[in-house]
Amino acid sequence: MNINGDVALNGTVPSYPQYLEAAAAAQRVAGVKNVHNHLQIVLPGEDYRDDAMLTTAANNALTLNITVPDGVEAAARDGNLTLTGAVEYGRQRKVAELAVAGLVGVRNIKDDIEISYDADPVDVTWFVQDALDRNALIADDSDVSVDTSGNKVTLRGHVRTWAERDAVVGAAWMAGGVSEVDDELEVTG
């Protein structure tokens, strides 16, 4: 359903990666400004894993991924993984999520990983602007602004596409100490 750029995804999918990909595919459609993912993950019987088995598989995947810092752990409950621990960078949280997202039996991921130190507002603002300039995805006359308060970054302004939005949000997460990115960007289509 597409009403004024808003898309709602409803129905079921058989895996967590398909849940994520459905939202990503909807975002790539011209004119889409917001995607509301209400899909339910209904695992096929052969993909069901009990909590102990899924917890073990997730922790093994985290341990084997050399880019996931030591101390990040997973616990499963009814196919829902909760990630805990501490990292220095937001991108390390994302790597941990990706390390377990494709495991058979995962229905959802809750990221409770903490960022272990405070962000420097000047560094965050510089890092985001540098990444945008380097990637040349955002127009020179863009009104995108970056505000940092503690470990939280707030992004405001207008971008033309979801790719531009993803570039801005990704750049914010790359900065050291960022534990939360408040995306108030508007996709103009």
Q: Percentage helix, strand, coil, to 5, in the chain?
A: 35, 30, 35
* Whole-number Å distance between alpha carbons of 31 and 50: 41
| SS3 of residue 177 by DSSP | coil
Q: What angle do CA 17, 21, 24 make, to 5 degrees?
A: 145
DSSP element (H, E) containing 155:
strand 152-159
Dump pLDDT digits (tens) for 6-42.
889 999 999 999 999 999 898 888 788 788 999 999 9
Q: What is the pTM of this model?
A: 0.72
* Whole-number Å distance between alpha carbons of 75 and 156: 35
Residue 153 has pLDDT above 90, yes or no: no
* Lowest-pLDDT choice from 17-21, 52-56, 157-161: 157-161
Q: For residues 119 and 154, which has the higher predicted lDDT (pLDDT)?
A: 154
Q: Can you name the residues that pair with 111 across neighbouring β-strands?
A: 83
Domains, the chain, ordered by start:
2-41 (no CATH), 46-115 (3.30.1340), 121-187 (3.30.1340.30)
pLDDT for res 159 = 83
